[in-house]
């Protein structure tokens, strides 16, 4: 079945009892049992909830994985995946990984003696060089935040295979609609479903999908033991969001492409970062592993004051953190997503004080460009 | 700033909550609102009268339709019921003859006993409308266009002009085309009603209705009935409808693209006798739509060659779901003679063309190749 159809008919999205076109929100903590010796499919909602399972089935189908699991946030999904490892294990992690993942690795998991080396994953040799005898996994993200840097997923799979490592990736920016890392050989995909999958900036959720059933079984045991599950209402909303994922992504990407081209023509703009631009570093690699460029772009202004003015004056994009919603969001990495990073380190990575990031929504692109044009003026 | 409809809808409710900046309007699950002091109000007193979540939905639709005010109701029929309270015993209303079955039932079983006389006319025939307008006691026109299930098109601009010349109100049920493709108030009509359950909410997960009024006097009266009768939409469903509206233009365009391809395919199928889709070049209403509107929608009806084929079609589809309703992201197949129009006299139904060989498709946003393969299999 094609992906556009799978988005609507993901397997468990109809209610088997009444035929309801929308799976019920099973707002129940426990399930009455028929037989004391043989419990039914559902006993306690932390272990299994039909609404959450419909979502878990949907993401597994879309990513082409064996098992999907839904968590209370993207960080809960990532943290649960990291619990697959033991003290003394070592991970090689993409340098441009999401800041929250960096934080949990360098604080909580470090305390538990899970070691991480951050390597520039856009360069396969850097990743290879960071591997030690204790390395158990690679964890990368592509395109990465905020400079949309591209990691070669197939090269990462080759390295992981050669060294017998698990390959984990955060697929939040692309979603399975554009990029399916499990099909390229990755073992685990994690998502902040808050972003494009939920797509309406109205919930917090995370998802993980495993390529094989054995790994799925282990992660499911962590989900049940640790318990950072997604509630039924939010599970249902993510499922509702997924139904329009394809049409949203297509429209948002179309607008992002137009805006990226337009930004290139603006005298105030020094540089545009968008994987859909031919001159973007890693463009060809991205094209070879994903079917779209997505709807997030960053751009650097010549002047810090212009960046601040833009952020203050725009009327349509919301100045906020997060991305992937139907409404455009303009963010300022220096004080938002990368505030926790030492300034020297941040500047060394190209995240300057005049860099802004735009998550392009469903507004008419002409309206967005007119709004930014007005805000860029003196 | 005059915004495109896509921009208006994508951002609906975004800057409502200035206290926290929340991007999504809060679901105000509250019946009542505290007063700052005696004789003072925050503007919100009791949720039947005004609820903030519902208000954002109502304001969004008023803007989308270019109307004066919007009102959200517990269902499409609750919305139509509130509008029909504008009339009294002895009034007569010209009504599109192949009308949604529920509206027909409301006119016949609820309002006829109150003395309101529905006069059924083929409103796609403007000459027939002009003749009917000459009857005594006509106070309003209630037009559905396209109609359900035969997708007949009425010339709303000509109807509104003829009605206005006689001081008659025009009410349009815009459920099938929505403001994305058809804005009846801009064509001179007075009131727009919706089953928001369909395209507006768009996910087959909400039951809701909307009224948008064209002028302050009508707004005052409909607002009074909404509060007095109280068939209001709850905050959770208001919020879901608002969430649905954000992707309305995308969904509807995709549904229309799919429907156009399917209609052409059906038209060439040997077991299909007739296809009703306003986007087909030979559809009688196509010229009106091309002139006044910007799209044809996602609904198709078609007649198979033999009624005996129907049960296996309905039982055999795998991507389409055999169910009532329409307008959702998932494709549905419906059998009007038994489902939506069961309350209509068989003789009238047959005369209108709603026979036992007719099936209706609500085309969703799935892959169009797979929708066609599904139909191919069962036909």
Single out the residue in B185, B218, B245 at which a domain terminates.
B245
Count of alpha carbons within 13 Å of B65, Cβ hemisphere only? 33
Interface of B with A (CB under 8 A): 1, 3-4, 6-7, 9-11, 14-15, 21, 23-24, 203-205, 243, 246-247, 249-251, 254, 319, 321, 323, 325, 328-330, 332, 364-367, 369-370
Q: Which residues of A touch B14 (CB under 8 A)?
A: 318, 327
Q: Are residues B130 and B143 in the same domain?
A: yes
Question: Given an 8 Å threshold on Cβ–Cβ distance, is A320 in contact with B370?
Answer: no
Express each pLDDT in A233-274 by its tens digit. 999 999 999 999 999 999 999 999 999 999 999 999 999 999
Q: Are residues B241 and B271 in the same domain?
A: no
Q: Are B137 and B92 a contacting pair, CB within 8 Å?
A: yes
CA B52 – CA B30 distance, rounded (Å): 10
Residue of B nearest to A1 (CA): B370
CA B336 – CA B147 distance, rounded (Å): 13
Sheet of strand B169-173: strand arrangement: B69-73, B209-213, B191-195, B169-173, B138-144, B92-96, B117-121
Query: What single DSSP character describes residue A94?
Result: E
Give yes or no: A46 in active site. Answer: yes
Single out the residue in B245, B260, B282 at which a domain terminates.
B245
Look-up of token digits 């559902």: A42
Reference A233, options B29, B265, B41, B310; nearest CA is: B29
Count CB neighbours of A288 within 10 A: 12
Give yes or no for a cis peptide into A76 (omega within 30° of 0).
Answer: no
SS (H, E, C) A139-170: EEECCCCCCCCCCCHHHHHHHHHHCCCEEEEE
Q: Are residues B65 and B141 in the same domain?
A: yes
Q: Are residues B217 and B267 in the same domain?
A: no
Locate B254 and state its tokens: 């995709």
pLDDT of residue B1: 41
What domains, with CATH codes, occur in chain A? 3-243 (3.40.640.10), 245-376 (3.90.1150.10)
Q: Are residues B11 and B153 in the same domain?
A: yes
Reference B298, options B162, B160, B131, B177; nearest CA is: B177
Residue of A nearest to B326 (CA): A21
Task: Tell me the nearest-neighbour CA distance from B144 into chain A, angstroms.
Answer: 26
Locate A289 and state its tokens: 């592993």
Query: What single DSSP character describes residue A44?
Result: B
Q: Which residues of B touch A320 (CB under 8 A)?
A: 21, 23
Query: What single DSSP character describes residue A231?
Result: P
Give yes or no for a cis peptide into B149 (omega within 30° of 0).
Answer: yes
Q: Which residues of A touch B319 (CB under 8 A)?
A: 5, 9
pLDDT of residue B45: 86
Task: Tell me the nearest-neighbour CA distance from A92 into chain B, angstroms.
Answer: 36
pLDDT of residue B21: 81
Q: Are residues B321 and B215 in the same domain?
A: no
Query: What single DSSP character describes residue A373?
Result: H
Q: Are residues B227 and B274 in the same domain?
A: no
CA B273 – CA B52 distance, rounded (Å): 50
Q: How many residues does chain A have?
A: 378
Q: Kind and range of the H or E element at B220?
A: helix B216-229
Question: Given an 8 Å threshold on Cβ–Cβ distance, is A8 in contact with B205?
Answer: no
Give the mean pLDDT of chain A: 93
CA B34 – CA B42 distance, rounded (Å): 8
pLDDT of residue A25: 87
Give yes or no for a cis peptide into A146 (omega within 30° of 0).
Answer: yes
Q: Are A193 and A54 a contacting pair, CB within 8 Å?
A: no
Question: Given an 8 Å threshold on Cβ–Cβ distance, is B250 in contact with A19?
Answer: no
pLDDT of residue B37: 78
This complex has an ipTM of: 0.75
Express each pLDDT in A296-339 by its tens digit. 999 999 999 999 999 999 999 998 888 999 999 999 999 988 88
Residue of B nearest to A363 (CA): B7
Query: Whole domain around residue B300: which residue ranges?
Result: 248-378
Q: Are residues B235 and B293 in the same domain?
A: no
Question: Given an 8 Å threshold on Cβ–Cβ distance, is B247 in contact with A201?
Answer: no
Tell me the CATH number at B338. Answer: 3.90.1150.10
Query: What single DSSP character describes residue B69?
Result: E
The residues with which A209 forms a beta bridge, in sequence order, are A68, A189
Q: Are residues B226 and B255 in the same domain?
A: no
Locate A180 and state its tokens: 């399916």
Q: Are residues B330 and B313 in the same domain?
A: yes
Locate A146 and state its tokens: 């905020």
pLDDT of residue B239: 95
Q: Are residues B101 and B45 in the same domain?
A: yes
Query: What single DSSP character describes residue A184?
Result: G
Per-residue pLDDT of chain B (379 residues; tens, 9 = 90+): 467 999 999 999 888 877 778 888 888 888 888 888 777 888 888 889 999 999 999 999 999 999 999 999 999 999 999 999 999 999 999 999 988 888 998 999 999 999 999 999 999 999 999 999 999 999 999 999 999 889 999 999 999 999 999 999 999 999 999 999 999 999 999 999 999 999 999 998 898 999 999 999 999 999 999 998 889 998 999 999 999 999 999 999 999 999 999 999 999 999 999 999 999 999 989 999 899 888 999 999 999 999 999 999 999 999 999 888 899 999 999 998 888 777 778 888 888 889 999 999 999 999 999 999 999 999 9
* Alpha helix ranges (H) inside B268-304: 286-292
pLDDT of residue B2: 62
Mean pLDDT of successive 10-residue stretches along chain A, which has 378 residues: 87 75 84 80 88 96 97 93 96 92 91 94 97 98 96 98 98 98 98 96 94 97 91 93 96 98 97 97 97 98 96 92 93 88 88 96 97 90
Residue of A nearest to B24 (CA): A202
Query: What single DSSP character describes residue B185?
Result: G
pLDDT of residue A378: 64
Single out the residue in B223, B245, B267 at which a domain terminates.
B245
Number of folded domains that form chain B:
2
**b/e per residue B186-197 (b: at least 16 CB within 10 A):** ebbbbbbbbbbb
pLDDT of residue B40: 82
Locate B377 and state its tokens: 């299999």
- What are the start-end ranges of the E strands in chain A? 67-71, 90-94, 115-119, 135-141, 166-170, 188-192, 206-210, 269-273, 296-301, 318-319, 329-331, 355-359
Q: Are A206 and A76 a contacting pair, CB within 8 Å?
A: yes
CA A237 – CA A202 distance, rounded (Å): 9
**Best mutation site among B257, B366, B371, B375 for testing chain A: the one with the most A CBs within 10 Å?**
B366
Q: Kind and range of the H or E element at A136?
A: strand A135-141
Q: What are phi and psi of B302, to 5 degrees?
A: -150, 155
Give yes or no: B198 in active site. Answer: yes
CA A320 – CA A322 distance, rounded (Å): 7
Q: Kind and range of the H or E element at B213?
A: strand B209-213
Query: Which pTM was predicted?
Result: 0.86
Q: What are phi and psi of A117, to 5 degrees?
A: -115, 130
């Amino acid at each position: 079945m094609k992906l556009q159809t799978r988005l609507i008919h993901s397997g468990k999205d109809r209610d088997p009892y009444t035929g309801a076109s929308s799976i019920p929100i099973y707002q129940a903590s426990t399930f009455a049992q028929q037989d004391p010796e043989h419990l039914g499919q559902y006993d306690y909602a932390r272990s299994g909830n039909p609404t959450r399972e419909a979502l878990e089935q949907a993401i597994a189908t879309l990513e082409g994985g064996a098992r999907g699991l839904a968590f209370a946030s993207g960080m809960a999904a990532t943290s649960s995946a990291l619990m697959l490892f033991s003290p003394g294990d070592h991970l090689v992690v993409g340098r441009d990984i999401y800041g929250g993942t960096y934080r949990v690795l360098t604080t909580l998991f470090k305390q538990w003696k899970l070691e991480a080396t951050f390597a520039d994953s856009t360069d396969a040799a850097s990743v290879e060089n960071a591997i030690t005898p204790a390395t158990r996994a690679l964890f990368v993200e592509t395109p990465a935040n905020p400079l949309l840097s591209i990691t070669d997923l197939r090269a990462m799979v080759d390295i992981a295979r050669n060294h017998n490592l698990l390959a984990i990736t955060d697929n939040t920016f692309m979603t399975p609609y554009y990029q399916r890392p499990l099909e390229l050989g990755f073992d685990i995909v994690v998502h902040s479903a808050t972003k494009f999958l939920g797509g309406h900036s109205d919930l917090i959720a995370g998802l993980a999908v495993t390529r094989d059933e054995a790994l799925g079984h282990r992660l499911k045991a962590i989900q049940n033991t640790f318990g950072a599950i997604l509630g039924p209402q939010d599970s249902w909303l993510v499922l509702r969001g997924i139904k329009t994922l394809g049409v949203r992504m297509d429209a948002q990407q179309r607008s992002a492409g137009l805006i990226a081209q337009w930004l290139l023509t603006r005298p105030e703009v020094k540089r545009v970062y968008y994987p859909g631009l031919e001159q973007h570093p890693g463009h060809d690699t991205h094209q070879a592993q994903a079917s779209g460029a997505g709807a997030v772009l960053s751009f650097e202004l010549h002047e810090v004051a212009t960046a601040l003015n833009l952020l203050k004056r725009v009327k349509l994009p919301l100045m906020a953190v997060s991305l992937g919603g139907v409404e455009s969001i303009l963010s300022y990495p220096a004080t938002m997503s990368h505030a926790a990073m030492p300034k020297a380190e941040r500047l060394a990575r190209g995240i300057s004080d005049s860099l802004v990031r735009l998550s392009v929504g469903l507004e008419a692109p002409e309206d967005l460009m007119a709004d930014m044009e007005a805000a860029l003026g003196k | 700033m005059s915004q495109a409809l896509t921009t208006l809808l994508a951002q609906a409710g975004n800057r409502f909550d200035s206290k926290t900046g929340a991007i999504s309007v809060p679901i105000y699950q509250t019946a009542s609102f505290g007063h700052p002091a005696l004789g003072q109000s925050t503007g919100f007193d009791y949720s039947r009268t005004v609820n903030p979540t519902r208000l954002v939905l109502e304001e969004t639709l008023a803007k989308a339709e270019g109307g004066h005010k919007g009102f959200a109701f517990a269902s499409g029929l609750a919305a139509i019921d509130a509008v029909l309270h504008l009339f009294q015993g002895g009034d007569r209303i010209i009504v599109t003859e192949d009308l949604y079955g529920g509206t027909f039932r409301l006119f016949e079983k609820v309002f006829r006993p109150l003395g309101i006389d529905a006069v059924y006319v083929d409103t796609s025939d403007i000459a027939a409308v002009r003749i009917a307008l000459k009857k005594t006691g006509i106070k309003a026109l209630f037009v559905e266009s396209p109609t359900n299930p035969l997708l007949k098109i009425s010339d709303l601009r000509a109807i509104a002009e003829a009605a206005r010349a006689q001081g008659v109100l025009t009410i349009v049920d815009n459920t099938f085309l929505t403001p994305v493709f058809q804005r009846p108030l801009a064509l001179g009509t007075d009131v727009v009603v919706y089953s928001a359950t369909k395209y507006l909410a768009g996910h087959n997960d909400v039951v809701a209705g909307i009224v948008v009024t064209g002028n302050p006097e009508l707004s005052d009266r409909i607002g009074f009935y909404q509060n007095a009768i109280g068939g209001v939409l709850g905050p959770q469903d208001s919020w879901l409808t608002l969430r649905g509206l954000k992707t309305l233009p995308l969904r509807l365009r995709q549904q229309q693209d799919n429907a156009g391809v399917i209609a052409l395919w059906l038209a060439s199928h040997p077991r299909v006798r007739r296809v009703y889709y306003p986007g087909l070049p030979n559809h009688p209403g196509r010229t009106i739509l091309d002139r006044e509107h910007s799209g044809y929608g996602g609904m198709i009806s078609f007649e198979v060659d033999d009624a005996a084929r129907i049960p296996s079609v309905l039982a055999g589809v795998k991507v389409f779901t055999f169910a009532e309703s329409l307008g959702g992201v998932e494709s549905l197949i419906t059998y009007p003679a038994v489902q939506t129009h069961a309350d209509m006299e068989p003789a009238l139904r047959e005369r209108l063309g709603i026979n036992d060989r007719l099936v209706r498709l609500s085309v969703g946003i799935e892959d169009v190749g797979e929708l066609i393969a599904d139909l191919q299999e069962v036909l």
